[in-house]
C-alpha cells in the first residue's frame, strides 16, 4: 500500500510542460546560474502511454512534494527525455513511472507495481522505494547534468 500511495501522489500532479520545466524563482538573478537536470529514461518495454517524472529537493519532501514534474511521450526507440532548468544548486532525487494506460496512477496488484518505474542512480530497495540519499543527484550552480534511469 505504501508504494501505491507514494506513486499515486506523484501521479496526481497537474502536468503542464512535457519537455522543459523552468523552476527558477527569479531571485538573485545575475548572482549565479541555475542548474539544468536532463533525464533520459530507457529500458521501456513499449511506447504506450507516457512517462511521469517528478523531482524532489529534500528528504522531507521526497515522494510527497515535488519541485518539478513532467509527463513525457515515449519515442520510437523506447526512451523518454525531459529537462528541468533553472534549478538552485543542491541535492535532488528523481522518481519516474511508465503510465502505460494513461490513467494517471501507478497501477499495482497486491501493492506490487504493475507498471515499470525507476529512480535516479537506478536506486533500489527490497521493500518500498529507495531512500532520498540513495537516489540523490548533486547539482552545482550553473551545472548541466544528464542522468539516465533504467526502468524496471
Mean pLDDT per block of 10 residues along the chain (152 residues) reads 41 35 45 88 96 97 96 96 97 97 89 92 92 98 97 90
In a domain, 101, yes or no: yes
Number of domains in the chain: 1
Give the three cell numbers for residue 62: 521526497
Q: Are 59 and 132 in contact (CB under 8 A)?
A: yes
The three-class DSSP label of residue 118 is: strand
Q: What is the pTM of this model?
A: 0.79
Distance of CA 23 to the CA centre of its chain: 14
In a domain, 145, yes or no: yes
The residue to which cell 548541466 is assigned: 144
In a domain, 28, yes or no: no
Strand intervals (E) in 25-89: 35-42, 50-56, 68-72, 80-87
Indicate which CATH number applies to the domain containing 52: 2.60.40.10
Q: Which domain holds residue 72?
A: 2-21+33-150
Amino acid at each position: 500500500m505504501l508504494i501505491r500511495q507514494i506513486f499515486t501522489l506523484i501521479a496526481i500532479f497537474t502536468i503542464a510542460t512535457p519537455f522543459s520545466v523552468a523552476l527558477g524563482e527569479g531571485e538573485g538573478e545575475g548572482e549565479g546560474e541555475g542548474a539544468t537536470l536532463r533525464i533520459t529514461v530507457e529500458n521501456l518495454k513499449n511506447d504506450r502511454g507516457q512517462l511521469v517524472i517528478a523531482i524532489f529537493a529534500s528528504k522531507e519532501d521526497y515522494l510527497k512534494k515535488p519541485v518539478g514534474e513532467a509527463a513525457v511521450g515515449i519515442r520510437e526507440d523506447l526512451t523518454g527525455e525531459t529537462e528541468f532548468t533553472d534549478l538552485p544548486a543542491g541535492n535532488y532525487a528523481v522518481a519516474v513511472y511508465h503510465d502505460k494506460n494513461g490513467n494517471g496512477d501507478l497501477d499495482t496488484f497486491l501493492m506490487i507495481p504493475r507498471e515499470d518505474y525507476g529512480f535516479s542512480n537506478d536506486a533500489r530497495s527490497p521493500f518500498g522505494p529507495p531512500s532520498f540519499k540513495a537516489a540523490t543527484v548533486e547539482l552545482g550552480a550553473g551545472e548541466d547534468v544528464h542522468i539516465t534511469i533504467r526502468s524496471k
